[in-house]
Amino acid sequence: MRRSSLSVVVCIVWTVCSAASALAFAQTGNHNDARSSAIASAPDVQPEAIAALERMSAHLRSLKQFGLHADTTIDVVTQGDQKLQFPGTLDYKVRAPDGLYIGMKTDRKERELYYDGKTLTVYGPRNKLYAQTPAPPTIAALLGVAEDRYGIELPLADLFLWGTAKAPLSSLRSAVYVGPARIDGSVTDQYAFRQDGVDWQLWIESGDTPLPRRLVITTTNDPAQPQYASTLTWNTSANIRDADFAFVPPKDAHRIEFVEVDAVAQEAAP
């Protein structure tokens, strides 16, 4: 029971929920009305929006290491079609190409992920259970293995996909510039993008460090239109150590096994 239940929990906890309602450009007030009209009359894919996304992506790919804190909210839709919202935090330590730590906390769950280029570990500090498995040699390869084999979609995985072949710009059906905005005191530019089944908004820091500062994802093919939102605080000069990616189990921790997606499906079958 412990093996299968933790595996299911791991899948749920680390999955980023694509969510929310359609982008609400129609606002009140003359300024917002003018902005809405400009957006409504703009081309579906604006070159300046694509250029901003490419510039941000190139900057992300140039980062060799960084720390990141994210304040998140995620909508969960119940079987009765009631939408519930849960706040949480994420803390990242990253060193390309083979070092990754993620700490996730909500009121109900707490998980830590460690990856050192050889081993993937997921640990639950509250229940003192951890699972380990051999892992591929790069973060990029880890993303695919974690999702395909164990059903674990890492939160904010787009940070590692933008600017690569796994995030093709050809999938965009709409890309528009919304306007300037402030996120935690920083000047940013807000953009809105649309793909099949997903709308997403991105606030990119202005100036020489075009980092994503806020991300809102909407699942438009779900009638409830749940939403995932994350506000990002970056530390590109973080002191990153080898020990940050090496899991050392506490004395009272117990090791369990990862259960692969196929095995979970077979257990769930009648």
Closest CA to 222 of 12, 15, 16, 17: 17
CATH number at residue 93: 2.50.20.10
Please say if the pLDDT value at position 131 is more than 80. Answer: yes
pLDDT tens digit sequence for 44-64: 999 999 999 999 999 999 999
pLDDT bin (cut points 50, 70, 90) of residue 97 is very high
What pLDDT was estimated at residue 43?
63
User: Measured between alpha carbons, how far is residue 160 from residues 61, 82, 107 in Å?
Assistant: 8, 32, 27
pLDDT bin (cut points 50, 70, 90) of residue 25 is very low
What whole-number distance in Å separates Cα of residue 135 and Cα of residue 148?
Answer: 13
pLDDT over 90, % of the chain: 77
What whole-number distance in Å separates Cα of residue 176 and Cα of residue 172?
Answer: 11
pLDDT bin (cut points 50, 70, 90) of residue 19 is very low
- Structural domains in the chain (count): 1
Residues 6+ away with beta carbon under 8 Å from 243: none
More confident residue, 227 or 4: 227
What pLDDT was estimated at residue 261?
82
| Mean pLDDT score of the chain | 85
Domain region containing 257: 2-268
Residues 6+ away with beta carbon under 8 Å from 200: 192, 193, 194, 215, 216, 217, 218
More confident residue, 137 or 14: 137
